[in-house]
Amino acid sequence: MCLDNSKRVSGLPGRVILGYGVGNFAFAFLGLVVVVNLQFFYTDYVGLGAGLVAWSLLFARLFDAVTDPLIGWVSDHTNTRIGRRRPWIIGASIPLAFAFYFLFTPPVVADPAQSQGYLLFYMLTCYILVYFIWTIGAVPYYSLGAELTDDYHERVKVIAVREMCALIGLLMATIIPAYLIYKFGGLEGYSLMGGILGAGAALFLLISGLVSRERTEFSGRESMSPYVGWITTFRNEHFRRLLVAFFCSAVAGAIPATLVIYVSVYIIGTPAWWTETVPGWMPTWSYYLLLYFTSGICALPFWNRAAVWWGKRNTWAVAISLAAMSSAACWWLQAGSVGYFSVLLVLGGISFGNYLTLPPSMVADIIDHDEVLTGRRREGGYFAIWAFVTKLGAAVTGFIALQVLEHVGYVPGVPQTETVKTWMLWMYSWFPALLYMMSLIALFRFDFSAEDLSDAQAKIGRA
């Protein structure tokens, strides 16, 4: 059965791959600061209670449960002269910059303890706005990556370049907040950071939307209700198995992202030798993030090659195992253990480079299988679910972690009790390690190979 007589696409020019990839600078800029810095900013600088911050994170992600499938469906069925995805990528760029700026520019109140409701309303409103606009741009953007090439291994290359841009963006998003906080103080520094990174995100999204090109043969397919589309997507057994593995890994990875600043400040601390030898604009938490993301960048070429040798599933399994071991080893962190933590972050960063690259390319392969089943191209539907799971994992873990800290007696800006430190370490080490092992078990039920992709593409006329 031939569902699509379009030509098989492979051998993409480097400018096309790079032009598409630079758009991920935008989501890297904003994503890191939101996941790592946002809760610390609102608890320790703005003065909003940790429990209220946790509820804000959770509610905003539940809102995404409605918007993600809707935007994915709209993107799949958009039909303009510049394509299905590009109008949304371009249109989200400037509004996203403004929303991000205001999220980190809250009103200054005389007594935060007496203004908790007001601060909660402000954070929640801006946070929902940021992620609604984010969804408008991100779901079409990541969906476009699955359409550019039909080649099993070239898809890894496309995603690797995209995530290389993301990792470089993460490095910049690590340095800029640290420097601005040192130079201007917490509130003003974060506000300037919101403006600078927001403007940079808008610029790179515009570049990506203008440079990228789309395949016209994918437009004009028969429509499907967005929520019917979700149900149909979950009937794809390959996707279900992959999604379970990814969700466990997403939750496991989100916990350290939420707590890394708390651990670096309140457990490891800043040794005297650090203060005497390292510039003041480089706090320990910024160094840790730089080390982690630099390791991820350096590991990308290896993972790209390893996927050719061992296959995508087996290569991801190796990375998950490495992440589990490095997470568990964090249980032995203590005051002053900068070197020990650095080694663990290098190992974790190497694993992170794999996590960014291989799973999305595996989804792209499954979408071709879905076309055999449905006769439609539904990248938007698949990556809407993928994006929602990523954000849900961050929200659930952020909510749980901050609620736990609130209940065990966390007080911002002062030395923490041994009880608080123990809970921080347990959530940072053993809990992620357990989830990584669950991800590994789920992954070995996934069995969609390069040969399966070739068979699917033969049935849709792109063999």
37 located within any domain:
yes
DSSP per-residue string spanning 369-438: HHHHHHSS--HHHHHHHHHHHHHHHHHHHHHHHHHHHHHHT--TTSPPPHHHHHHHHHHHTHHHHHHHHH
295: closest CA among 344, 342, 354, 350?
A: 350
CB-based contacts of 435: which residues, under 8 Å, 6+ apart? 248, 249, 251, 252, 255
DSSP per-residue string spanning 266-333: III---HHHHHHS-TT--HHHHHHHHHHHHHHHHHHHHHHHHHHH-HHHHHHHHHHHHHHHHHGGGG-
Calpha distance 125→41 (Å, rounded) = 16
Q: What is the pTM of this model?
A: 0.76
Calpha distance 401→398 (Å, rounded) = 5
6 located within any domain:
no
327 located within any domain:
yes
- One-letter amino acid for residue 290 of the chain: L
Calpha distance 444→358 (Å, rounded) = 15
CB-based contacts of 351: which residues, under 8 Å, 6+ apart? 299, 319, 320, 322, 323, 326
pLDDT on residue 220: 56
324: closest CA among 357, 301, 347, 292?
A: 347
Question: Counting Cβ atoms within 10 Å, is residue 276 exposed (0-12), middle (13-18) or buried (19+)?
Answer: exposed
Question: Counting Cβ atoms within 10 Å, is residue 193 exposed (0-12), middle (13-18) or buried (19+)?
Answer: buried
5 located within any domain:
no
pLDDT on residue 223: 57
DSSP per-residue string spanning 220-273: SPPP--HHHHHHHHHT-HHHHHHHHHHHHHHHHHHHHHHHHHHHIIIII---HH
Residues (pLDDT < 70) of the chain are 1-10, 65, 217-229, 462-463
Calpha distance 261→250 (Å, rounded) = 19
Under a CB-based contact definition with an 8 Å cutoff, are residues 382 and 230 in contact? no
pLDDT on residue 137: 92
E-strand stretches of 139-250: none
3 located within any domain:
no
pLDDT on residue 437: 96
Cβ density class 236-249: b for 16+ within 10 Å, e for less: bebbebbbbbbbbb
3-state DSSP assignment of residue 114: helix
Under a CB-based contact definition with an 8 Å cutoff, are residues 386 and 360 in contact? yes
pLDDT on residue 244: 92
pLDDT on residue 152: 74
| Cα 463 → chain centroid | 33
Q: How many domains does the chain have?
A: 1
Residue 83, beta-bridge partner list: 80
7 located within any domain:
no
389 located within any domain:
yes
Under a CB-based contact definition with an 8 Å cutoff, are residues 54 and 355 in contact? no
Calpha distance 19→214 (Å, rounded) = 12
* Dmax (CA) of the chain: 70
Tokens of residue 270, six digits: 């800043």
178 located within any domain:
yes
Tokens of residue 108, six digits: 């200054």
Inter-axis angle of helices 186-211 and 24-32, to 10 degrees?
Answer: 160
Domain with residue 181: its CATH number is 1.20.1250.20
CB-based contacts of 302: which residues, under 8 Å, 6+ apart? none
pLDDT on residue 2: 39
The domain in which residue 264 lies consists of 19-215+224-459
Cβ density class 75-114: b for 16+ within 10 Å, e for less: bbbbeeeebbbbbbbbbbbbbbbbbbbbbbbbeeeeebee
Under a CB-based contact definition with an 8 Å cutoff, are residues 78 and 88 in contact? yes
Calpha distance 22→155 (Å, rounded) = 16
